[in-house]
Structure 1
Amino acid sequence: MSYQANPGMSVAGGNRNVKNIPIGADGRDWSNGFCGCLSEPGTCLTATCCPCITYGRLKHRHAHLNQQGTPDPEHGGCCTGDCMIHGVLTSCGFGWILQMMLRGEIRSRYNISGGACGDCLAAACCMPCQLTQESREIELEEQSFGKY
């Protein structure tokens, strides 16, 4: 794999690659490992017990960054419509589909390498690790604004 110089990916005041991870032709790696979810015990516990809450907050934070260009002052808020939809789908065994789609959107925002197959496996096999990894990626950008 050949790597390009890293431009820092600063956009509208935030940095989408805070750890300055080298960007290859197919993107970069995640800022935090997939199995590093225990380093963020609060998010990991919430994602284990109530994945719909973690998903809803993630979706809201991601949308706020995309639409407003700034971190969400409510840090994802509380019970959102996305949380409720995820809860219903999870009770039927299909919550992983929403998570897979959000993971793809997050990978795209941060130019992270991977594909739909990996997103599907991550969402279906280890929901708490997947949600925590994505939350930590978004949090790095939010922190780069300096006022979060």
Structure 2
Amino acid sequence: MNSKSPTLGQWSTGLYDCFEDYGNCCLTCCCPCVTVGRTAEIVSRGATSCCAAGATYVLLAYFGCQCLYTCTFRDKLRALFSLPEDPCADCCVHFWCAPCAICQEYRELVNRGLDPSLGWELNAKKMEAAVTSAPSVARGMAR
């Protein structure tokens, strides 16, 4: 993945850096509904299930208008991490470069410490545990 840690307000990878995660790139090329579903579940904080988002994507893809759906999750992702609308408006990115945009959004979640393949509940528990766990303190009076 990306060697530098992601910062608030900046994408951790570029739109065309699909091959930074070969597995996700292959999955998205063969079955984009899975990647869309996983991303949607995380950015909607569980309000949209992976299965529902994936099925909606497939249905809309049949009519050729899936970009109108997927761009809404890019917007939510950008809001979550204060990311710029880059290189252009979300709907344009998804209309012209949908596979690249879908891969970039998934990578962004991974690079920020989330695992979309686990779903929202397990990621929420993982984040909660990281926030609520107290730092360990060494015993004794060692310096």
Taking structure 2 as the reference length, the TM-score comes to 0.68
C-alpha distance in 1, partners of 2:36/2:91?
Answer: 15
- Give the alignment partner of residue 44 of structure 1, picking from 25, 36, 39: 25
- Decide which structure has greater strand share: 1
> Does 2:62 align with 1:91?
yes
- Aligned ranges for residues 1-148 of structure 1 at < 5 Å? 19-21=5-7, 28-64=9-45, 80-114=51-85, 118-143=89-114
Kindly state the Cα deviation for residue 63 of structure 1 after the two structures are TM-superposed: 2.9
Runs (4+) of structure 1 exceeding 3 A deviation are 143-147
- Number of residue pairs aligned between Structure 1 and Structure 2: 115
C-alpha distance in 1, partners of 2:56/2:6?
Answer: 35
C-alpha distance in 1, partners of 2:27/2:110?
Answer: 16
- Decide which structure has greater helix share: 2
User: RMSD of the alignment, in Å?
Assistant: 2.9
- Structure 1 gaps, min length 5: 1-17, 68-76
C-alpha distance in 1, partners of 2:76/2:98?
Answer: 16
Kindly state the Cα deviation for residue 127 of structure 1 after the two structures are TM-superposed: 1.5
- Structure 2 gaps, min length 5: 115-125, 131-143
Q: Deviations over 1:19-73 (max 9, x none)?
A: 253x6xxxx2211111101111111122122211110111112234x78xxxxxx
C-alpha distance in 2, partners of 1:119/1:128?
Answer: 13
Taking structure 1 as the reference length, the TM-score comes to 0.66
Q: Deviations over 1:65-117 (max 9, x none)?
A: x78xxxxxxxxx8x6011111100011101111111110010000001117x5
Contact 2:75 2:90 in 1 (8 A): yes
- Could you tell me the percent identity over the aligned residues? 25
